[in-house]
Each structure stands twice: as structure tokens, then as C-alpha cells.
């Protein structure tokens, strides 16, 4: 979050499991982040989590996963970009376990994550 803040991001929407809500709120407040904490039905997956953010997102936004590592250069390009920006050659993750996005007519049509080991 600190790197994103240094790059000009001023508002964070954090979608988390209800049991972590207090920890994220304390972290955001202590670190000086403007953050909205949303914690409904994390078991429904990433697509539903993104859907939950719809009431707090207006205009351009960047979606990052808290369990992913992003290089600063990638975040800089993503913040300057338009549309879906993806890391086609991730260095720190297994592509088999990553969230997949199906694009049709320049729009995200489907979002899923294969079970581990598949």
C-alpha cells in the first residue's frame, strides 16, 4: 500500500475476511491510509470481492491482491495504463494458481481461479 500511496493512490478499498477487519483498520489508521474496509462473504472468491467494491469505486482504479508481490515498475505502468493491465510473466507466483480473466470486446467477461493442483 505504501508504494501505491507514493505513486499517487489516495483511497484504498480493502476487502477481507471479517476476522481480519479490525487488524486491517488498525493498520490503515496507523499508517495514514484512507481506507474503506469491506468484509462480506470472502468465501465467494475474487470476482465477488471485486463486485463488492462497486459502490466505493468511481472512475479509474487499480486492483491488486494482498497475497501478490508487485514490482514498483509494474505498478507505475498499471497506473498509467488504460484497461486491463496484467503481468504476463510473473516472477513470484505460479501461473497455475493465479486468477484468470476472460476478455471479450475489451471487457472482462469472466473471472475464475482454478483449484490448487489443477
Question: For the segment 47-92, what is each residue's pLDDT rounded down to a tens digit?
Answer: 787 788 888 887 778 888 777 778 888 888 888 877 666 666 666 6
What pLDDT is recorded for position 118?
Answer: 46
Contact at 8 Å (CB) between 28 and 35? yes
Percent of the chain's residues with pLDDT above 70: 81
What pLDDT is recorded for position 26?
Answer: 94
pTM of the model: 0.65
Residue 18: pLDDT band with limits 50, 70, 90: confident
Q: Where are the domains of the chain?
A: 2-83
Extract long-range pairs of 29-34: CB within 8 Å, 24+ residues apart.
31/1, 31/2, 33/1, 33/5, 34/10
Amino acid at each position: 500500500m505504501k508504494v501505491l500511496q507514493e505513486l499517487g493512490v489516495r483511497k484504498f478499498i480493502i476487502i477481507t475476511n471479517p476476522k481480519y477487519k479490525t487488524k486491517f483498520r488498525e493498520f490503515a489508521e496507523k499508517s495514514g491510509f484512507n481506507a474503506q474496509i469491506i468484509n462480506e462473504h470472502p468465501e465467494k472468491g475474487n470476482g465477488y470481492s471485486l463486485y463488492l467494491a462497486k459502490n466505493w469505486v468511481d472512475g479509474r482504479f487499480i486492483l491488486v491482491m494482498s497475497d501478490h508481490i508487485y514490482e514498483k515498475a509494474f505498478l507505475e505502468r498499471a497506473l498509467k495504463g488504460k484497461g486491463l493491465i496484467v503481468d504476463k510473466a510473473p516472477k513470484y507466483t505460479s501461473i497455475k494458481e493465479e486468477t484468470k480473466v476472460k476478455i471479450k470486446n475489451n471487457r472482462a467477461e469472466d473471472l475464475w481461479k482454478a483449484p490448487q493442483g489443477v
